[in-house]
Structure 1
Amino acid sequence: MDPVLVSFMGLTIHWYGVLFASAIFAGFQVMKRIYVREGLDVESLDNLLIYCVIGIVVGARLAHVLFYDPSYYFAHPAKILAIWEGGLASHGGGLGAILALYYYHRKMKLPFLFLLDRLAIATAIFGFFVRMANFVNSEILGVPSDKPWAIVFERVDMLPRHPAQLYEALAYLSIFIALWAIYKTTEMKQKQGALFGLFLVWVFSARFAIEFVKVKQAAYAQDWTMSAGQMLSIPFLLVGVFLLVKPYLASKAK
């Protein structure tokens, strides 16, 4: 696909930007529905949106620069700001969102884990749109494949490849649907940290598995058994397991 959606009178709009904006809009709408459902201050979501967008973009870009291609960006520092060319690492975006939410929680006096549980649902649908943006940008490529659904990314080469971006997008969409259903129909949301823990376990298990069919992005990790993405996923996965079982262990202890 042409990465440019439309170009008119010097104004260029990229698919990547449109899909990233769609990710923000979708996540915001999910949080709005949750706030209305729970009788929380919907107007305060404007502040949360600003904090999270800044945290996600800055965190994701810095993580990409530092963990995936540091030699290139240190040699071309001006390119660090060129986010429209792609290059946002989800691990860094996740940390940035968590830090932004912590700042918001301090101002709003709402429990931190309570907010993380609900933001996890919005983050899953956010991840779906971001991976679709990676797909149209021909980045985060899969390894060559002879599968009938393999895709040729002509702006890169003529090799049929695993559409790894679509695998992740579908995984995140499925996780969003499952988390939303659990939130609406079960009492799991009452166990603070459990929904966020489940989100971390599902997302980073999917990420770890899909990395096996991705081209390794970090040049320094080409000879490693695991990719940089898999190595970075392990801490998130362990934290997810801990948060998922912690409330249940606490309830049994009582």
Structure 2
Amino acid sequence: MTCTPEALDRVFLQLGPLSIYWYGVIIATGAFLGLLIATRETERLGLKKDYMIDIVVYAIPAAIVFARLYYVIFEWDRYVGGPWWDIFAIWEGGIAIHGALIGSVLTAYLYTKIKGLSFWMIADIAAPSIILGQAIGRWGNFMNQEAHGGPVSESFYNSFMQYLPGFINQQMCIGGTLYHPTFLYESVWNILGFIFLLVLRHKFNPRRGEVFLSYVIWYSFGRFFIEGMRTDSLYLFGEIRTAQFISIILIALAIAVIIYRRKSGMANKYYNGKKVK
């Protein structure tokens, strides 16, 4: 479907030669709100909020490094033979959320082991904040006109997209063609996941570790289907999209861990941080 391009300005603030982009502002906002929620939950459970702040401080650089490394590995043909410094040109785009999650989880695991804390408790505290940060962060992709789907058909526009706020359709009009706002689909899915995890944590007395594992299942399930609509996917081999393959593995692994921890007695019940006998 054709449209008239009216892209929003990617620059949030211009300070002389320094440009501050909306992408960075939105990502930082998501991280801040996530940290705020996580620190409040940490204090509610009787832990020091400094624990969560420390993890975030260490996890952010690790997440960036792993997000870039993940992307470069699966896009190696793009970099081999070229200038080696292109591998580090993160400002030109090219990071992957799965890589960021791997870096963050490894950092949290090492930190909890050093501090003598329960990794699963910290993971449960962080899970709603992570998915909220992802929901907000997708709007950074929106400002950059990236992570979108394929062209929208006339029938889909008439049945759905015409009811979206005008600024969304204008921003998804690229080169005169209207594209699926897959950033929006994932953002909405993640917001629903955020609500689900909060309800799960506060109303259903889940066993330790199962809030985080539920996050893994929820996010991966939605990402699998949304990834199939995107035009910028990384590919494992042939037509196998990397994010879809990883999503299937994560869902299966999370379910297996839940079953194993319950059968082995490792997942004791906790309510508001208190062990239930």
Corresponding residue for 1:37?
Answer: 44
Secondary structure (helix, strand or coil) at the match of 1:213 reads coil
Deviations 1:141-178 (A, max 9, x none): 20111222184657853221110111111111111111
Gaps spanning 5+ residues in structure 1: where?
Answer: none
Native 8 Å contact 2:172 2:180 kept in 1:
no
Q: Aligned residue for 1:194?
A: 210
Partner of 1:240: 254
Equivalent pairs, count? 247
TM superposition shift of 1:78: 2.5
Q: Does 1:84 align with 2:91?
A: yes
TM-score scaled to structure 1, two decimals? Answer: 0.88
Instruction: Give the letter for the 2:122 counterpart.
Output: L
Q: Pick from 188, 204, 211: which aligns with 1:170?
A: 188
Please state whether the residue corresponding to 1:12 is helix, strand or coil: strand
Cα-to-partner distance string for 1:107-127 (whole Å, 9 max, x where unaligned): 221112222222212111111
- Asked whether 1:104 is paired with 2:111, we answer yes
Provide the rounded CA distance (Å) in 2 between the counterparts of 1:36 and 1:209. Answer: 36
Code of the residue aligned with 1:158 in structure 2: it is G
Residue 157 (structure 1) aligns with: 175
Offset from partner CA, 1:186-229 (integer Å, 9 cap, x none):
211xx1221111111110000001112111423675x51x3222
Moved more, 147-156 or 55-64: 147-156
**Structure with higher helix content:** 1
Paired residue type of 1:80: I
- Distance in 2 separating the partners of 1:16 and 1:123: 17
Identity %: 27
CA 1:175–1:143 in structure 2 vs 1: closer, same or farther (change >3 Å)? same
Give 3-state SS (helix, strand or coil) of 2:228's partner: helix
Deviations 1:93-119 (A, max 9, x none): 111111110121022211122222222
CA offset at residue 248 of structure 1? 4.1
The whole-number CA distance in structure 2 between the counterparts of 1:20 and 1:80 is 22
Distance in 1 (CA, whole Å) between partners of 2:141 and 2:45 is: 34
Residues 59 and 96, structure 1, Cα contact 8 Å, conserved in 2: yes
Please say if residues 39 and 52 of structure 2, whose CA atoms lie closer than 8 Å, have aligned partners that are also in contact: yes
* Greater length-normalized contact order (CA 8 Å, ≥ 6 residues apart): 2
Which deviates the most, 156-165 or 170-179? 156-165
